[in-house]
Amino acid sequence: MTSTIEQAKSMQADLVAMRRHLHAHPELNFAEFNTSKFAAEKLTALGFSVQQMGGQTGLVADFGSGSKTIAIRCDMDGLPISELNRTAFTSQNPGAMHACGHDAHLACTIAAATILCQQPLPGKLRIIIQPGDDADGKPGASTMIEAGALEGVTALLSLHVDATLPTGKVGIVTGATLPSVQKFEVTINRNGELASDTDSALTVAKIVCELYKAPSLLKSSGSAPDQVSISVQSMHSGYNQSVEQEGIENHNCAQICGTLKTYSGDAQKQMQEQIEKIAKSFDGDAVVDFAKCIEQNVSSAAVTSVLNEAAIDLIGSANVLSIKRKSWNYQFTLLTEKVPGAMIYLGAEISSSRRIHQTPTFDIDENCLPIGTAILAEAARRLF
């Protein structure tokens, strides 16, 4: 354990060099060609078997063999922002900048891989390097999932720098990293009579449109900051045999069956209220039934526990915080819907000069890099 943190600290110069090289040469969504080449060369030199997977830039690199596969994932894309910092490693690519820390993520991931491949592993270590969103807006995480990057993965680790958290501290999301799932059913004109099948179908279509808009409207208003989503699985308009069987005379009604995904009780309550509000705006007597909520965070609990304990043992319990999920790990959440995983929020605040993510002056305290490296490596070792 001591050797892990000492190893990481001894790599500080290399970590800074990697991070600054990447920072000076940011590349945008789905076009991270030189970044991908840089990572592939580093991992190949360490003895990893590297293959392109996910667009033209995504990478999957494997080291070792065995039935258990522990993966470390990082992102690598920059943002379309012109950097205003004036440093020796300021972005050399006009209109592009590492304004959210993905350069640090890749440096820490490669360094953790360097530590891990120097010791015997009772299984396979996988490094997943994820591209940004494609031209149609598909998340990079979805691209990697479809390409098969998670096949055979037992557990998944990742980190994200947090320039609002003091350097030397880390945050672990100990709450839900997967959404709670709740089925719902909207019934319109259950005890009345819709004018016609055409009116019924039109009403259903309008309600569905409003349901799909609801999460973004709440988020833009600041009412529901957590990631929420609504999907509709089935719609019915007109004659309903099941309603007739319940003994209701006027069974010409409309029904919509959907799924609500939320990450907190507050967001769930707000969305339930919004769904009911939408339904009743079309029919004052509309009925919305919510099924029992299914909590999904259990599968990642064991991985989170290992990550949390590794962090505490390496840097002390006073420096390991339990924090709420942030929007930054939305892409990681897509991955943990498939395999158990956990994420570190790595404190990277520049003392007396806090920088804001996704702005032209974003920067980090590079003293955080060995900490992130060590925790990733130690947690992966323990997961084996």
Residue 220: CATH number of its domain: 3.30.70.360
Provide the pLDDT for residue 253: 77
Query: Is 121 found in the same domain as 8?
Result: yes
Query: Is 61 found in the same domain as 43?
Result: yes
pLDDT tens, the chain, 384 aa long: 569 999 999 999 999 999 999 999 999 999 999 999 999 999 999 999 999 999 999 999 999 999 999 999 999 999 999 999 999 999 999 999 999 999 999 999 999 999 999 999 999 999 999 999 999 889 999 999 999 999 999 999 999 999 999 999 999 987 656 678 899 999 987 555 555 556 678 889 999 999 999 988 877 666 554 678 899 998 877 644 444 444 444 456 789 999 998 877 788 899 999 999 999 999 888 999 999 887 666 678 889 999 999 999 999 999 999 987 777 778 998 899 899 999 999 999 999 999 999 999 999 999 999 999 999 999 999 999
Q: How many domains does the chain have?
A: 2
Write the CB contacts of 189 (distance below 8 Å, at least 6 apart in sequence).
200, 252, 253, 254, 283, 285, 286
Query: Is 39 found in the same domain as 143?
Result: yes
Query: Tokens standing for 48?
Result: 């990893």
Contact 268, 277 (CB under 8 A): no
Query: Is 145 found in the same domain as 98?
Result: yes
Long-range contacts of 81-90 (CB under 8 A, 24+ apart): 81/358, 81/359, 81/360, 82/360, 83/360, 83/361, 84/360, 84/361, 85/360, 85/361, 85/362, 85/363, 87/363, 88/20, 89/20, 89/21, 89/23, 89/24, 90/24
Query: Is 131 found in the same domain as 13?
Result: yes
Query: Is 273 found in the same domain as 312?
Result: no
Please calculate the CA angle 207-211-213 and round it to the nearest 5 degrees: 120
Query: Is 325 found in the same domain as 275?
Result: no
Query: Is 285 found in the same domain as 160?
Result: no
Q: By residue range, what is the domain housing residue 11?
A: 2-175+297-383
Encoded amino acid at 25, one letter: H
Provide the pLDDT for residue 226: 60
Query: Is 170 found in the same domain as 27?
Result: yes
Last residue of a domain, one of 250, 266, 290: 290
Provide the pLDDT for residue 243: 41
